[in-house]
A = this chain, B = another copy of it.
Amino acid sequence: MPEVADAPDAQALRARIAASFDRQGLMTTLGATLAAVAPGEVRIELPYGPGVTQQLGYFHAGATSAIADSAGGYAALTLMPEGTEVLTVEYKINLTAPAVGEHLDAIGTVLKSGRTLSVVRFEVVAVTGDDRTTVALGQQTLIRIGG
């Protein structure tokens, strides 16, 4: 995914998404950060630590899902005018490999941006040094509110 360029539009878009992200208490609790914002695509990072694990010490599917859900929602929001909110209607996620790594990258990519509903694909990758392993894949439906 492209890093955000320094062009004014890209900065404004990132600022708008970051303002909402920073109000998500759960992201702060988990230690997640907004890593990249582009039109139709958002990436969120989650470092590994004992506070995000399941019983075997992997990242918990709930932590994986939380950053995937936020990455998908913000990807949808990038394509909407200011003053709009999106809410998750539903999503489906496959956990395809044990989520083990230094951090997770959750990338949401818009497949369809509609007037009422949007459909987003997300992928979560476990990263250790140069090694990248896909650990989750999913599809999400979102509804636009206001705007």
CB contacts (< 8 Å) of A80 on chain B: these are none
Instruction: State the A residues within 8 Å of B (CB).
Output: 20-21, 23-30, 49-56, 60-63, 65-67, 69-70, 85, 87-98, 111-112, 116-117, 119, 121, 134, 137-139, 141, 143
The 8 Å CB contact of A52, one of B26, B60, B137, is: B26
Contacting pair A94 B62 (CB below 8 A): no
What's the Cα separation between A112 and B137 when bound, in Å? 10
Residues of B within 8 A of A30 (CB): 29
Q: Is the CB of B61 within 8 A of A89?
A: no
CB pair A117 B143 closer than 8 Å: yes
B139→A139 contact, CB < 8 A: yes
- A sample of 7 inter-chain contacts (CB < 8 A) reads A25-B50, A65-B66, A89-B117, A91-B93, A94-B141, A96-B112, A116-B143
- Do the beta carbons of A111 and B88 come within 8 Å of each other? no
Query: Do B111 and A96 have beta carbons less than 8 Å apart?
Result: yes
Q: Across the interface, which residues of B come within 8 angstroms of A26, CB to CB?
A: 51-54, 60, 62-63
B residues in contact with A88, CB < 8 Å: 61, 95
Residues of B near A97 (CB, < 8 A) are: 112
Cross-chain contact B55 with A66 (CB below 8 angstroms):
no
List B contacts of A87 (CB < 8 A): 95, 98
- Chain B residues whose C-beta falls within 8 Å of the C-beta of A25 in the assembled complex: 49-54, 60
Nearest-neighbour CB distance to chain B for A114, whole angstroms, equals: 8
